[in-house]
Amino acid sequence: MIRPDAPVLLEIRDLHARVEDKAILKGVNLTIRAGEIHAVMGRNGSGKSTLSKVLAGHPAYTVTGGSVTYRGENLLELDPEQRARIGVFLGFQYPVEIPGVSNLEFLRVSTNARRAEKGEEELDTFAFEDLVRERLKVVQMDPAFLDRSVNEGFSGGEKKRNEILQMALLEPLVAILDETDSGLDIDALRIVAGGVNQLANADNATLLITHYQRLLDAITPDYVHVMAAGRILRTGGKELALELEQRGYDWVDQELAALAAEVA
């Protein structure tokens, strides 16, 4: 939902970042307002996953220039846990397994960290169980998953559902979903996309990072951005995704070449 007067949640300006010695982001600009759903598409290696990790504060990535402002606050100077507490969420492409740590306990500690930041009271075990059982419905998840270790032995689809469950509990204002559709079969994709749609509202925003059109059949984006060589090359509406689907990414290469020629 596009409302030009909606408050800006996330403002990315000329963002540069590298991992080890390799420059990956080379000037990303993006403005996200409340109520919007954005999709960032692009080939492997275009920098779209890096963008998501940089926004969440992964220690392996170093920001070398530009700024990211979240609701007026400099996001880049915050620790990853602080970003999460104030409402920035990253849904991982490959959620890691954490043996021995109970999923239920993990979800509770995490939810309470966010609640404390919002000035809400912490939930005890019982109150939290009530909440989590209600939110499980968003992703049609079996309560048995709560008793297992975090993501341990979960199938690809179960891991992604667990991600969306976390999103449902944390109620972020900006949710970045990195390749949430990868490794999902049709049914799982429908459930996960259904969850994302249920959670989107006029006050929050979603940034989908994806390779394929098929996720965008289930979640309709307000904006589609095409990323290449560490920058957003083009921005359009949902029809841009369809164009990509039909023409493939080859034209992106041509545009890049043209751009390079211009610069030279």
CB of 4 to other proteins, least distance (A): 31
DSSP string covering the chain: ---TTSPEEEEEEEEEEEETTEEEEEEEEEEEETT-EEEEEE-TTSSHHHHHHHHHT-TTEEEEEEEEEETTEEGGGS-HHHHHHTTEEEE-SSPPPEEEEEHHHHHHHHHHHHHHHTTPPPP-HHHHHHHHHHHHGGGT--GGGGGSEETTT--HHHHHHHHHHHHHHH--SEEEEESTTTT--HHHHHHHHHHHHHH--TT-EEEEEES-SHHHHHS--SEEEEEETTEEEEEE-HHHHHHHHHH-SHHHHHHHHHHHHHH-
Among 92, 128, 154, 223, binds other proteins (CB under 8 A): 92
CB of 100 to other proteins, least distance (A): 3
Site for other proteins in 189-248 (CB under 8 A): none
Residue 186 makes contact with other proteins by CB under 8 A: no
Closest to other proteins by CB, 174 or 232: 174
Among 57, 66, 221, 230, binds other proteins (CB under 8 A): 57
CB of 239 to other proteins, least distance (A): 33
Residue 109 makes contact with other proteins by CB under 8 A: yes
Site for other proteins in 60-79 (CB under 8 A): 60, 79
Token couple for 17: 């970042």
Closest to other proteins by CB, 73 or 185: 73
Q: Which stretch binds other proteins (CB under 8 A): 34-42, 102-110, 124-132, 246-254?
A: 102-110
Q: Which stretch binds other proteins (CB under 8 A): 30-38, 100-108, 131-139, 227-235?
A: 100-108
Site for other proteins in 140-159 (CB under 8 A): 149
> What is the binding site for other proteins (CB under 8 A)?
56-60, 79-81, 83-85, 89-90, 92, 95-96, 98-102, 105-106, 109-110, 113-114, 117, 149, 166, 170
